[in-house]
Structure 1
Amino acid sequence: MDISGHYKQLFQTYGDSPQACQWSSRESQRQRLAYLLGVASVNGIQSTTKILDFGCGTGALPDFLLDKNIQAKYTGVDIVDEFLDCGRAKHPHQRFCKQFDIEPNETFDYIFISGIFNNNTGNNELFFETTLRWCWQHCNQAIAFNLLSTYVDYQELDLWYKAPEQTIQFIKSEFGHRTPFQMLNDYVLPRGAIPSEYTVYVYKQLTQ
């Protein structure tokens, strides 16, 4: 699957909208972002907090932060040039770039990943593991991401699902058995659907 071409086509069709990032509605997109931001509930997000939006799309996260009057040092990365251009146009004081523009020793307090693991590309396990390893190396506080669960009534062929217990196994084996994490599978998205996904927080440093 040509992910970049897929999202370029969606952007050409839908413009700056949740549908361009393959979300069904703005409400569901923003609700997912709210759950991801919950990882920072202990330490909070301040004007000096550095956050990385991995797979930033058209900039829905900085839109959300602005609406909530939350200030932070934001960086968004994506593989789609049109998404990055759209984000820069809306938020000229924030940083939008490609992943390879991130310096090897650059770190962020929080890294957020929403929806980038959902498409069935044929190499999902490798992409999932490589992405989390890279984010772990560039993270100071925590990573928050979401995944489609295998515990559903049916599975779409063009989507990728991962069992929660496999995600836990990867976290513990890759980042250490003492690595604290939290898994949310108790939320219902708009339309009252039975949860078909889960959100995971992996803490590198947790200050009480």
Structure 2
Amino acid sequence: MKLTEKATVRAFHRHRLGGTSLQALGFRGPESQVRRFEALCTWGDFSGCSILDLGCGYGDLKPFLDQRYEDIIYLGVDFLQEFVDGAQASHGHLPNTQFFHSDFLTAGLPEVDIVIASGSLNYRSENILHPWQMITRMWEAAGKGVVFNLLDAKIFGEDEVLCGYDIDEVSAYCKKLDAQTKILNDYLPDDFTVLMRKS
């Protein structure tokens, strides 16, 4: 993404910081966030895994995972300092939890078991290779698998900041990396989740 595109994303979220935490993140409400998190969890058992959460926002995924799995090592990364500060204040006390302020689009990704991206790949970019480059980087950093969600282009309308993706196109690309890639698209009308595993 270009610097101007990143600035637009920052402005998109900072404009919403005066509202609720979910509004700041761009979620419609708590049900929308929970359904996305539940879809991510269909990947499998995260117990004992190290997890990298790209675009972690306020870190709400960590306590959600802690309620379902044991012994998770969680690294949350976001390029908005306000989100990282909020995540640290709310969840930094949880065991095996760290939050970092970094631009994961350009920074090196640490090697972990599972890489997660919930909503953070939906930003519009003039670089048509952007989503494919990020999926590949996530796959290379993950020892066990990758799970992420995207907006469905067939349902999601035009937006200056966000963009939707064609499910078939995403599936075809991901299957070049993992032939057993699965797509889940029955939990929200305009969202789908991609589940990838390394054998």
Matched-pair contact (CA < 8 Å) for 1:117–1:160 = no
Cα deviation, residue 140, structure 1: 0.9
Higher helix share: 1
Displacement of 1:184 after TM fit?
1.0
Deviations along 1:33-62, one digit per CA (max 9) or x if unpaired, are 11111102xxx122x310111110011101
2:24 aligned with 1:24, yes or no? Answer: no
Question: Gaps spanning 5+ residues in structure 2: where?
Answer: none
Q: Shift of residue 74 of structure 1?
A: 0.3
Counterpart selection for 1:157 from 129, 142, 159? 159
- Alpha-carbon spacing, 1:29–1:100, altered in 2? closer, same or farther (3 Å): closer
Residue by residue over 1:107-155, the C-alpha shift from the partner in whole angstroms, topping out at 9 and shown as x without a partner, is 21111111113333433x3331221121111101111111122222x62
* Alpha carbons 1:4, 1:80 under 8 Å: kept: yes
1:57 aligns with 2:57: yes
Q: State whether structure 2 residue 46 is matched by structure 1 residue 45.
A: yes
Distance 1:38 1:6, change over 3 A: same
Q: The residue matched to 2:157 in structure 1 has which SS?
A: coil
User: What's the TM-score, normalizing by structure 2?
Assistant: 0.82
Match of 2:185 in 1: 185
What letter is aligned with 1:56?
C
| Secondary structure, aligned partner of 1:63 | helix
Alignment of 1:117 with 2:105, yes or no, is no
TM-score by length of 1: 0.79
Taking only aligned residues, the RMSD between alpha carbons, in angstroms, comes to: 2.4
1:53-202 map, 5 Å: 53-68=53-68, 70-92=70-92, 93=95, 94-97=97-100, 98=102, 99=104, 106-123=110-127, 125-152=128-155, 155-158=157-160, 159-173=162-176, 175=177, 179-187=179-187, 189=188, 195-202=189-196
Q: Distance in 2 between matches of 1:66 and 1:60?
A: 10
